[in-house]
Amino acid sequence: MQKKLPVILKNLVSVAFAQLISGIFWIAGIALIARYAGTNKFGDFSYIMAFVNVFQFVADLGIASILVREVSREKARLGYYLGNLKSLYWIFSFFSLIIIIFGIRLTTAGPDVHLAAYPAAIATVALFHVFSYVTVFRAFEDMEINSAGLVLSRLLFLLLVILAIRLEMGLPGIFAALAISSIALWWGYYIIVSKKYVRPRLSFDLTAWRFLITEGSSTGGTIILRKTLWYADTFMLKALASSAAVGLFNSVYQIVQMVYLIPWTLAVPFMPVFSRLSKTDPKQLRDMLNNLLKITWLVTLPLSILTTFAANDIMRAIYGVKFSMAADGLKIIIWTIPFLFPTGLFFSSLRPSDVKGRTCFV
| Segment 173-222, tens digit of pLDDT | 999 999 999 999 999 999 998 888 888 888 888 887 887 777 766 655 56
pTM of the model: 0.76
User: Residue 328 — very low, low, confident or very high, per pLDDT cuts 50/70/90?
Assistant: confident
Q: Name the range with the highest mean pLDDT among 279-283, 350-354, 355-359.
A: 279-283
Give CA–CA dist 49/240, Å, rounded.
18
Highest mean pLDDT range out of 187-196, 202-211, 247-256, 298-307?
Answer: 187-196
The share of the chain scoring above pLDDT 90, in percent, equals: 16
Taking residues 316-334, report their average pLDDT: 86
Planar angle of CA 63, 147, 42, nearest 5 degrees? 80
Confidence band, pLDDT 50/70/90 cuts, at residue 353: very low
- Provide the pLDDT for residue 206: 84
Q: Is the pLDDT confidence value at 7 over 70?
A: no
pLDDT of residue 11: 66
Residue 253 vs residue 152, higher pLDDT = 152
71 or 124, which is more confident:
124
What rounded mean pLDDT belongs to the chain?
80
DSSP assignment of 18-77 = HHHHHHHHHHHHHHHHHHHHHHHHHHHHHHHHHHHHHHHHHHHTTHHHHHHHHHHH-GGG
Number of domains composing the chain: 1
Q: What are phi and psi of 359, to 5 degrees?
A: -130, 140
Beta bridge partners of 361: 350
pLDDT band (50, 70, 90) for residue 339: confident
Please give the single-letter amino acid code of residue 123: A
Position 270 scores a pLDDT of 66
Cβ proximity of 277 and 360 under 8 Å: no
pLDDT band at 52 (very low <50, low <70, confident <90, very high): confident
Answer whether residue 349 shows pLDDT above 60: no
Give pLDDT, residue 344. Answer: 65
Range of the domain at 337: 2-361
Label residue 297 by pLDDT band (50, 70, 90). confident
Using the CB atoms, write b or e for 44-55: b if 16+ within 10 Å. bbbbbbbbbbbb
- Give CA–CA dist 291/358, Å, rounded: 24
Q: How far is CA 34 from CA 18, 47, 123, 180, 247, in A?
A: 24, 13, 20, 20, 8
